[in-house]
Amino acid sequence: MNTWNETLSIFALGGVYEIGKNMYGIQYGDEIVLIDCGSKFPDESYLGIDLIIPDVSYLLENQEKVRALIVTHGHEDHIGGIPYFLRQLNVPVYGTRLTLGLIELKLKEHNLLHQSTLISIDRDSTISLGSLTISFFQTNHSIPDCLGVVFETKAGSIVHTGDFKFDLTPVHKQSPDLHRMAEIGQKGVLALLSESTNAERPGFTPSEKHVGDRLLEAFSKAQQKIFVSTFASNVYRLQQVIDAAEATNRKLALLGRSMINVVKIASEQGYLHIPEDMLVEIEEVSELDPARVAVLCTGSQGEPMAALSRLSTSGYRHVKVERGDTVILSSSPIPGNERNVARIVDNLFIMGANVIYGSGTGMHVSGHGFQEELKLMLTLMKPKYLIPIHGEYRMLHQHRLLAESVGVDFESIFIVNNGDVVDIHDGVAVQERKIPAGNTLVDGLGIGDVGNGILRDRKHLSEDGILVIVVTRSKTDGKILSGPDLISRGFIHAPESEGLLEEATRIASEVITNLQEANVSQWNRLKQGMRESIGKFVYAKTKRRPMILPIIMDV
C-alpha cells in the first residue's frame, strides 16, 4: 500500500497532437523535471518561419521549481529547442555522450556553451532530485544511446519511453534493455508515457541490419561512384555505409555540414568505426577511380540547401553526379517533403544516374516501433495509466486502441493535448486542468514576435500581393497636392494592368473628393473608403484581392 499526499502531475508542452517539438514535464511537489526540448519544422502555413519551439511560459513562471532537463536522444525533435530554452532558464541538461555531443554543437552555434551545465549519464545512471529518483533503460532507435526514463516517487513510478523500436539484431549490439524493462514493469508502473509515431502501422519494424544487406548488394553492383544520402544522425546507417564501402574497397568522402559534424563527434566518441585511410576529402573524389569511391551526403529529405539537392542540379566543383553513377536515398520522406524528394530523384535520373529510392528498395527502415512493438512495450510495462505521446491525434488514438487490445482500460488511457495536465493523487489520475502551452515561432533573430496577425498578412500578401495608394494633402485646406499614386507588388503584371491601375487611381481620387466634400477628414474613414472602393473595383475586374494599403501624407 502506498501512502502519500503530494500530487504527481504529468504534462506535455509539445509533442502531442503533432509530430515534433517534444517536451514533457513531471511535477512532484516542488520539483519539475523536464524530458526533451525539441523543435519542429514549420509546415507551409507558417510563412517565413524558420522553426517552431515549445512555449515555455509555464516553466518561466515556475522557474525555481525546474530542476533538470533530461534528454532521451539527440534528434532535432528532442533537442532543437534547447538553445532557446536555456537562454531563458539555465537548468542542468542530462544526456548520454552522443546526445550531449550534438547538444554542444547547437550551444556553440548559439554561443551558449560556456554558461550551460551538461551532465553525462548512461543507462546505468541514477539521479536523485529531491523526492524524485530517476533511472534509465536503453532502447533502440535510429541514433545510438537512446534512453527511456523511469521516475520513482512515493506516489509510484512514471515511465517515459523516449523513441524506440525493438531491433533484436541491432547494429553495434545496442539491444533494447528487455530485462530491465521487464523488471520495471514487474515492480509496477503507475503511468507510462509511450511513443506513438508508428501506431498506425501493423506488424514489427524490420531490423536496421536489413539495410546493411541491401547497401552491400548495391555497392557490389555499382561500376562507378556511389552517393548515399541519409540523416546524418543515423549513426548506425553511417556505420553500415562505411562497412559496405570497406567490403567493396571504396574510399569515402563526406558532403554536408551536419554529416561532417556527426561523423566527427560519433567517431571521436567511439560510436562509429572508420577504417584508417578510408576517409578522403571531397576535393579528392574527382581524382579517384570512380569504382573505388563513395560519397556520404546530407539532404535525403529533399532540403533545398542540402548536398543531395545541390548534387541533383549544379553539383559541386569537385564532385558531380555523372551518367552511370549510383545514388541511394537511404531514407523515407517525412510527410510534406515528398515533392521535394521526387524532384531530386527526377533530376538525378535526367542526369543519367541509377537512383535507388522508395520504400520497395529496403534502403531504409523506420526507427519507430510498429504496432506489435508498441504492444510489446505495453505488455512489458503493464502500466496502470497510459499517456500516448509523440504523435498526431490519429496516432495517439490508434495507440489507445492497441493498449485496449492488450488489456488497458479505456478509462485508464489519457489522450492529452499540449498544456493538458494529468494529476495523480492517491493513485487516481484525473485530467482536469491546463497550463499555458503552444507554438513559439522563430523567424530570423525573432523568437515569438511573429504571431497570427503577421502570418495572416503574409498569407494575404502571398496570394494576391499588395496595392499601395499614396496621397499627399494640404494640412491647411485638405486639398490634394500629389497623388493618388498607385504602386503594386505581387498583384498584376505592369504593362497589362495599366488601364486597370489608371481607373483605380481615378476611383481613389473620387473617394477622397467625395468624402472631403462630405466633410470627412479623419484618416481612418478616408482610408477605409479607399480600401472598400478600390477593393471592390479590383475584385470585379480581376477576381483578386490584393492587400490595399492607403497612405495619406498631410503636409
C-alpha–C-alpha distance, residues 505 and 495, integer Å: 16
Assess contact for 227 and 328: CB atoms under 8 A: yes
Closest separation in Å from C-beta 465 to a copy of itself: 6
Q: How many CB atoms lie within 10 A of CB 492?
A: 20
368 labelled catalytic: yes
CB of 15 to a copy of itself, least distance (A): 15
Do the annotations mark residue 399 as ligand-binding?
A: no
Cβ proximity to a copy of itself, 296 vs 329, nearer residue:
329
Q: Give the end-to-end CA distance of the chain in Å, rounded to a whole number.
A: 82
Quote the DSSP letter at residue 62: T
Closest CA to 445 of 56, 110, 14, 44: 110
**Exposed / middle / buried, residue 520 (Cβ in 10 Å: 0-12, 13-18, 19+):** middle
Query: In terms of residues, how long is the chain?
Result: 555
Shortest spacing between CB 335 and a copy of itself, in angstroms: 5
User: Would you put residue 288 in left (φ > 0), alpha (ψ -120 to 50) or beta?
Assistant: beta
> Which is closer to a copy of itself, CB of 292 or CB of 459?
459
For a copy of itself, the closer of residues 270 and 478 by Cβ is 478
Q: Establish whether 163 is an annotated binding residue.
A: yes
Q: Annotated binding residue at 233?
A: yes
73 in a known ligand binding site: yes
The CB-of-444 to a copy of itself minimum distance in angstroms stands at 3
Q: What CA–CA distances, in Å, run from 513 to 501, 520, 532? A: 18, 10, 15
Q: Does the annotation place 234 within a ligand binding site?
A: yes
Of 428 and 555, nearer to a copy of itself (C-beta) is 555
Of 171 and 437, nearer to a copy of itself (C-beta) is 437
Q: Could you tell me how far CA 144 lies from the centroid of its own chain?
A: 19
Q: Flag whether 425 is marked binding.
A: no
Dihedral, 63, 65, 68, 71 alpha carbons, nearest 10: -70
Taking the complex as a whole, the smallest distance from the CB of residue 394 to a copy of itself amounts, in Å, to 5
CB within 8 A of 473, min separation 6: which ones? 479, 480, 481, 512, 552, 553, 554, 555
Among the options 18, 76, 152, 195, which is catalytic? 195
Closest contact distance (angstroms) between CB of 17 and a copy of itself is: 8
Question: d(Cα 148, Cα 162) in Å, to the nearest integer?
Answer: 5
Q: List contacts with a copy of itself (CB under 8 A).
A: 17, 43-44, 47-48, 200, 202, 335-336, 338-339, 342, 345-347, 349-350, 355, 357-358, 360, 392-394, 397, 443-446, 449-451, 453-454, 457-466, 468, 470, 472, 481-483, 485, 487, 489-493, 496-497, 541-544, 547, 549, 551, 553-555
Distance CA 167, CA 173 (A): 10
* Strands, E assignment, 256-365: 279-280, 293-297, 326-329, 354-356
Whose Cβ is closer to a copy of itself: residue 44's or residue 277's? 44
Least distance between a copy of itself and beta carbon 50 (Å): 9
| 413: DSSP letter | B
Q: Return the number of the residue (188 or 336) whose C-beta is nearest a copy of itself.
A: 336
In sequence order, the 6+-apart residues with CB closer than 8 A to the CB of 106 are 79, 80, 82, 83
Q: Does 141 appear as a known binding residue?
A: yes
Residue 366 in marked binding region: yes
Has 540 been labeled as part of a binding site? no
Alpha helices in 370-479, H assignment, sequence order: 371-381, 393-405, 452-464
How far, in Å, CA of 266 to CA of 260, rounded? Answer: 10
75 annotated ligand-binding residue: yes
Shortest distance in whole angstroms from residue 43 CB to a copy of itself:
6
* Residues 207, 151: Cα–Cα separation, whole Å: 30
Annotated catalytic, 287?
Answer: no
Please identify which of the residues 31, 160, 208, 368 carries the catalytic annotation.
368
Closer to a copy of itself by Cβ: residue 74 or 484: 484
Residues recognised as catalytic = 195, 368
Q: Which residues are annotated as a binding site for Ca(2+)?
A: 48, 50, 443
Known binding-site residue numbers for Zn(2+): 73, 75, 77-78, 141, 163, 390
Residues annotated in a binding site: 48, 50, 73, 75, 77-78, 141, 163, 232-234, 364-368, 390, 443
Binding residues for substrate: 232-234, 364-368
